[in-house]
């Protein structure tokens, strides 16, 4: 009687074991990936600054995130089909974050780390969870994008570079890291990953304001340069005409003197000298305008270079990688 029971019990226990292993597969996977792993100090600091929960900190650490320079980042991220901006997640391998050197852009690394962590979180949702989360994400997008052109632009960019199948995943990360006010149900959902999600959003707003300020400054400088250039061109035309007039008057006065017409010569020399003084004054004015123009060009270019430096670096990361 025992043997038949054992024969029946063994396959049941085997199936139960398989079920338990499958049900706890992420626990086993995480234990394997985190065995002996100690996050670098800068990564631990980012996780702390992002105010990640214990669960989301695990999701980040499981992929052994690394801050990398351009060459390292390019080598690690060009193999993935995930769109690249400042970070990428290579499944079963790692999370790679582009190391930002500009102090004015503090917060970029923090937002990028949170963004990539949410990709990992999304990959672990069950079918039923995916259905619920996707519905909340798309509903929130439809509601918020009406008055948010930047959000619509990001959506369009992901649609173009990654296709419709990746939209839910990307918007799941975008909404979680960029949008201050979300519908209550979605806000509650993100509490699983962030102790205080507004910290991430504030980082996003902080470095975006730097870009906006620089862009506005460049636009203002360009407008002022246009005015100065118009003034310089107008003054140069005036100087050219006046110089030609002075040369003509000087030739005429030389002829008067050569012919012995001293009376007319003396009558003309006063107005001539006045016009020369006026011309010289305008030459100084022109020089000052040119100096002002060149100084403003240098200021404008410095701001523009600072504004575009990060984008230029990113754009040169990989010619084969799509832009995020």
- Which has the minimum average pLDDT: 85-99, 121-135, 144-158, 185-199? 85-99
- Predicted confidence (pLDDT) at residue 163 exceeds the cutoff of 90: no
Question: What are the two backbone dihedrals, phi and then psi, of residue 163, each rounded to the nearest 5 degrees?
Answer: 90, 165
Does 199 share its domain with 245? no
**pLDDT at residue 82 in the model:** 40
- Predicted confidence (pLDDT) at residue 134 exceeds the cutoff of 90: yes
In percent, the amount of the chain with pLDDT more than 90 equals: 33
Does 161 share its domain with 196? yes
Does 3 share its domain with 42? no
Does 220 share its domain with 201? no
**pLDDT at residue 208 in the model:** 76
Domain-terminating residue out of 160, 178, 207: 207
Is residue 323, in this structure, part of any structural domain at all? no
Does 232 share its domain with 293? yes
- Predicted confidence (pLDDT) at residue 305 exceeds the cutoff of 70: no
Taking residues 140-146, what's their average pLDDT? 94
Does 3 share its domain with 47? no
Task: Compute the distance between CA of residue 184 and CA of residue 96 in angstroms, rounded to an integer.
Answer: 31
Does 201 share its domain with 231? no
Task: Compute the distance between CA of residue 297 and CA of residue 221 in angstroms, rounded to an integer.
Answer: 8
Does 142 share its domain with 30? no
Q: What is the 3-state secondary structure (H, E, C) of the chain?
A: CHHHHHHHHHHHHHHHHHHHHHHCHHHHHHHHHHCCCCCCHHHHHHHHHCCECHHHHHHHHHCCCEEECHHHHHHHHCCCCCCECCEEEECCCEEEEECCCCHHHCCHHHHHHHHHHHHHHHHCCCHHHHHHHHHHHHHHHHHHHHHCHHHHHHHHHHHHHHCHHHHHHHHHHHHHHHCCCCCHHHHHHHCCCECCCHHHHHHHHHHHHHHHHHHHHHHHHHHHHHHHHHHHHHHHHHHHHHHHHHHHHHHHHHHHHHCCCHHHHHHHHHHHHHHHHHHHHHHHHHHHHHHHHHHHHHHHHHHHHHHHHHHHHHHCCCCCCCEC
Task: Compute the distance between CA of residue 178 and CA of residue 151 in angstroms, rounded to an integer.
Answer: 9
Domain-terminating residue out of 184, 207, 230: 207
Taking residues 67-83, what's their average pLDDT? 69
Does 66 share its domain with 109? yes
At residue 182 the predicted structure's pLDDT band, cuts being 50, 70 and 90, is very high
Does 42 share its domain with 131? yes
Taking residues 138-153, what's their average pLDDT? 92
User: pTM for the whole thing?
Assistant: 0.67
**pLDDT at residue 83 in the model:** 39
Residue-number span of the structural domain to which 11 is assigned: 1-36
At residue 269 the predicted structure's pLDDT band, cuts being 50, 70 and 90, is confident
**pLDDT at residue 136 in the model:** 96
Does 158 share its domain with 191? yes
Does 222 share its domain with 270? yes
At residue 25 the predicted structure's pLDDT band, cuts being 50, 70 and 90, is low
- Which has the minimum average pLDDT: 19-28, 137-146, 260-269, 303-312? 19-28
């Amino acid at each position: 009687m025992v043997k038949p029971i054992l024969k029946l019990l063994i396959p049941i226990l085997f199936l139960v074991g398989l079920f338990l292993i499958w049900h706890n597969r992420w626990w086993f996977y995480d234990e394997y990936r985190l065995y002996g792993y100690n996050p670098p100090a800068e990564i631990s600091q980012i996780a702390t600054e992002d105010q990640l929960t214990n669960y989301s900190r695990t999701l980040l650490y499981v992929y052994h995130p690394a801050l990398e320079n351009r060459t390292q980042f390019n080598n690690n991220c060009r193999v993935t089909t995930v769109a690249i901006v400042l970070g990428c997640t290579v499944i079963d391998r790692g999370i790679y974050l582009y190391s930002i050197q500009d102090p004015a852009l503090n917060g970029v690394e923090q937002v990028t780390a949170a963004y990539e962590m949410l990709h990992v979180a999304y990959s672990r949702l069950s079918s039923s969870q995916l259905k619920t989360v996707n519905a909340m994400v798309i509903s929130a997008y439809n509601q918020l994008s009406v008055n948010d052109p930047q959000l619509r632009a990001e959506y369009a960019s992901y649609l173009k570079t990654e296709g419709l199948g990746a939209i839910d995943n990307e918007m799941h990360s975008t909404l979680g890291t960029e949008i201050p006010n979300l519908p209550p149900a979605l806000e509650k959902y993100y509490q699983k990953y962030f102790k205080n999600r507004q910290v991430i959003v504030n980082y996003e707003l902080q470095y975006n304001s730097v870009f906006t300020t620089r862009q506005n400054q460049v636009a203002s400088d360009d407008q002022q340069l246009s005015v100065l250039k118009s003034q310089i061109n107008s003054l140069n035309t005036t100087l050219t005409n006046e110089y030609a007039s002075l040369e003509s008057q000087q030739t005429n006065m030389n002829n008067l003197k050569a012919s012995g017409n001293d009376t007319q010569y003396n009558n003309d020399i006063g107005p001539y000298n006045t016009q020369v003084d006026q011309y010289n004054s305008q030459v100084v004015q022109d020089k000052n305008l040119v100096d002002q123009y060149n100084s403003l060009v240098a200021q404008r270019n410095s701001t523009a270079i600072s504004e575009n430096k990060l984008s230029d670096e990113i754009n040169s990361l990989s010619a084969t990688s799509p832009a995020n």
